[in-house]
Amino acid sequence: RLDFLNEEQNIRSRLYVLSWLFKKYDGDVHKVLMAYNMGEGGCENLWNSGVHSTSYSRTITAKQAEFQQYIEERMGETNE
């Protein structure tokens, strides 16, 4: 039985959902994040009206880019 108050189980379940959504939406990050955040039903309406990203998905992808840059900078420091 899943206990969402258990931190490890909570994280594992979220990763499972994200993994499933990445497979379902062929790795389209914005669709995945929208479906994760809003639910698939809410996203369908937006996608059908031509909206393919939200402030949430743009914020998350921007944070990911920042984090990637930080990692690359840190890796450069260790290689010097």
Torsion on CA atoms 26, 39, 57, 76, rounded to nearest 10 = -60
What is the value of pTM for the model shown?
Answer: 0.80
Q: In this predicted structure, what is the pLDDT of residue 23?
A: 97
CA-only gyration radius of the chain, Å: 16
Q: In this predicted structure, what is the pLDDT of residue 2?
A: 78
Q: In this predicted structure, what is the pLDDT of residue 80?
A: 61
Residues of the chain below pLDDT 50: none
Q: In this predicted structure, what is the pLDDT of residue 27?
A: 94
What does residue 42 show for φ and ψ, rounded to 5 degrees?
Answer: -65, -35
